[in-house]
Amino acid sequence: MTTETKDTGPASPPVRRLRRAERREQILDAATRAFARTGYTATGLDDLAAEAELTRAMLYRHFDSKAGLYRAVLDRARARLSEATGTDDFDGDSIPALLRAAGADPDGFRLLFRHAAREPDFRDLADSITATSREVTRRNLARHLPAGPWLDWAAGLIPTLTLEAVLAWLDGGRPDPDQAAERIGQAVRGVMAAAGPLP
């Protein structure tokens, strides 16, 4: 007596189970893309689960709410930005480092500086980054400009100008990447010149 076995074709590849930290990163990557497309309010948990190719239950194993997931996305983007650019001083590599960081994580950059600033529940993060940027800018400018209202004006304007310039660069398709930092640097130097003593 012989036993026949049916050939059911090639075996399905085994489903790879990710470690918890890897799965969390996968979810954060997917959520960054989804939130950057439609913003916090318009992005539902079903959208996030579909983008991550997971069930809602799997999302809840890692994040207790949509707000918690959004905060984690913003915190990761901020940590990556700080790691890439530093937080204490500005030098000749500051603008190129900012452009590299934005280019490496454009969705995260847009979420931090465009979307989060418009979301009342998350604006504190954007405000904190802005306040720190102004403080560092003021400290650095004090080496070149006299104390007074024009130093304060430049310290408030330069971080805003720089971030908006980088966002516009991303939105414009990242043109002229080898010259972009110099172009933005020229605008920053223009603000410094305007804040200094007039002839």
29-48 pLDDT, tens digit each: 999 999 999 999 999 999 99
d(CA 13, CA 17): 12
Share of the chain above pLDDT 90, in %: 68
Task: Name the amino acid, one letter, at 22.
Answer: E
The whole-angstrom separation of Cα 4 and Cα 19 is: 40
User: Which string of DSSP letters, residue by residue, matches 107-121?
Assistant: HHHHIIIIIGGG-TT
pLDDT tens-digit series, residues 96-109: 999 999 999 999 99
The one-letter code for the residue type at 89 is D
- Where along the chain do its domains lie? 20-195
pLDDT value of position 3: 46
Contact (CB, 8 A) for 45 and 57: no
Query: What's domain 20-195's architecture?
Result: Orthogonal Bundle (1.10)
| Terminal Cα-to-Cα distance of the chain (whole angstroms) | 107
Instruction: For 168-185, write each residue's pLDDT tens digit.
Output: 999 999 999 999 999 999
Stretch (H or E) spanning 69: helix 66-85
